[in-house]
A and B are shown apart, each in its own frame.
Chain A
Amino acid sequence: MKILAIDTATEACSAALYIDGVITEQYQLAPREHTKLILKMIEALLDQSDIELLALDALAFGCGPGSFTGVRIATGVIQGLAFASDLPVLPVSTLAAIAQQAYDDHQHQYVLSAIDARMEEMYWACYHLGDNGLMKLAGEEKVSSAQKVKLAVDLSTSWSGAGSAWESYSEQLNAVLGIQVKAIYPDYLPHASSIVKLAVDDFQQGKAVEASQALPIYLRNDVAKKKASQ
């Protein structure tokens, strides 16, 4: 199986290629440079593996949450590529990608994945280990203040935290959770390599959608005030 994934939802920009079990990745911390980099990263990965876009089975992308514009860059690029090449698409959560990395790097089986959403809020979700070494969502992904964060599974298990919200709101989070968090990785950003790994499983489960249905998940939807409520 062959899948290409990209992510531009945060200050990180990455692309990864999965070819029959082997993952190669291009990753760069590049605030505001995503539009300059992402297509070249894709081209480089395909060239390195000497493979054409049309020979792939599917495309995947970090569909959010994250910066609105960042999420739309990946969405636009994937929509364009998928439409032109008639490939199916797997939208993968950026929170899932962060949790997956915490498991892959440190074998943490319970991860509270949280991205700073500014305006005193965070995008967050609880992930725990499922089958085949893949992290699974427990409950829902949400946007809220640290005060409203709740762990999905009983507190006796030991949790880890990952993602930028653990930098911005670590004190509030620790206070709210009322437990000792095992480890914290505040510098974790979504990687296309984690996204492609999750996408392979999603693809096998028939979760692929067509290009026009490859849409962002913003979580924050109250972005403007209507005239009546102004």
Chain B
Amino acid sequence: MIVLGIESSCDETGLAVYDTERGLLADVLHSQVALHGEYGGVVPELASRDHVRYLLPLTEQVLTKAGITKSELDGVAYTAGPGLMGALMVGACTGRAMAMALGIPAVAVHHMEGHLLAPMLEEAVPEFPFVALLVSGGHTLLAEVKGIGQYELLGESLDDAAGEAFDKTAKMLGLGYPGGPILARLAEQGEAGAYRFPRPMCDRPGLDFSFSGLKTFSLNTWQKETEQGNKNEQTQANICRAFEDAVVDTLVIKSRRAIQQVGAKTLVIAGGVGANLSLRKSLNTMMQKEGGQLFYPRIEFCTDNGAMIAYAGALRLLGGETEPLAINVRARWPMSELDAVVN
């Protein structure tokens, strides 16, 4: 089965073609980072307008790259939520209508399920059951994954998502947009142990997270140093390092607790913050000590992309799921509402 995947839930237009026999055939991406950079954050209306301009040209491109014609497609998958309503609508309207005209089924994909399954696009595929650490701009959660669509929430962020905390902290330090990757790069030049930031919620049992305090802690440190005449790049780098270490440590501690709690040997990391190399390294070390294994997607499939949508959609289509002749999108969509796929 050959499936076209469409991702347009936020500020990236992603298209991909996945073949259940041959694997991923092609994927292309248009990022709107430059467009929104001028505004210091994603402007939903501009995001929607940009998706409309790029969706078909990218579709043509991805089909050419995959070496197939549109008549060879067996299904169309698109992100139907959660995300920005107007942006989701573009991919869903185009994708649903395309499937109608091609006479093939369409399937609505949950964006976070896409992220969660992205590691399965790699050669070494994690086996169920596993624990997933999903860390993106909008979500931070730990879940036990027993199968496709069988997600048991173990813990989640009570305030800012990890990616959001990265972005907000970067903004407060004046690092530009999008802050996460910039902060991570600067942290590499930071001195380890220059500051000691708290590891929020680690001193008590449970698997929930809270990251908003770290951002305040970073700001206070920056202000104090500024007052003392230490407003320079090294100070900035040191704060970035302390912040990153605190986030990474916290994620590692909670992930270890999660795999011990459910007795899993496999940890899967997905979502934009999964691109963070320090996090990957620390989780890897932890899993080795635990006698288990860590799986993660290639860097470009950590952030939003069409490949994960094509993949998740293909699995759901194989499971017999299809959309009715209507366009349904949901800005909010709890993962617990997903149905299990039984093949």
Q: List the interface of chain A (C-beta within 8 A of B).
A: 35-40, 42-43, 53, 68-69, 72-73, 75-81, 83-85, 211-212, 215-216, 218, 223-227
- Please provide the 4 A-B residue pairs with the shortest distance between their CB atoms, ordered closest to farther: A76-B93, A80-B97, A84-B101, A80-B98
Mark the stretch among B49-57, B178-186, B259-267, B290-298 that contacts chain A. B49-57
Cβ-closest chain B residue relative to A39: B325
Chain B residues with CB under 8 A of A53: 101
In the complex the two chains form, what is the Cα distance from A83 to B40 in whole Å? 34
Interface: B14 (CB within 8 A): no
Cβ-closest chain A residue relative to B86: A69
A85-B327 contact, Cβ under 8 Å, with A76-B89, A224-B45: no
In the complex the two chains form, what is the Cα distance from A29 to B45 in whole Å? 25
Chain A residues with CB under 8 A of B85: 69
In the complex the two chains form, what is the Cα distance from A81 to B39 in whole Å? 34
Query: 7 more A-B contacts (CB under 8 A) besides A76-B91, A80-B96, A211-B56?
Result: A35-B327, A39-B326, A72-B90, A78-B97, A79-B55, A83-B94, A226-B39
A84-B97 contact, Cβ under 8 Å, with A35-B328, A68-B45, A215-B52: yes
Name the distance in Å between B113's Cβ and chain A's nearest Cβ.
21
A72-B52 contact, Cβ under 8 Å, with A212-B60, A227-B39, A227-B40: yes
Chain B interface residue count: which class?
35 or more
In the complex the two chains form, what is the Cα distance from A223 to B47 in whole Å? 11
A224-B98 contact, Cβ under 8 Å, with A36-B326, A72-B86, A76-B93: no
Contact B43 A223 (CB under 8 A): yes
Contact B94 A223 (CB under 8 A): no
Chain A residues with CB under 8 A of B52: 72, 75-76, 79, 215-216
Chain A residues with CB under 8 A of B327: 35-36, 38-39, 73, 77
Which of B39, B98, B325, B326 gathers the greatest number of chain A CB atoms within 10 Å?
Answer: B98
Name the distance in Å between A210's Cβ and chain B's nearest Cβ.
9
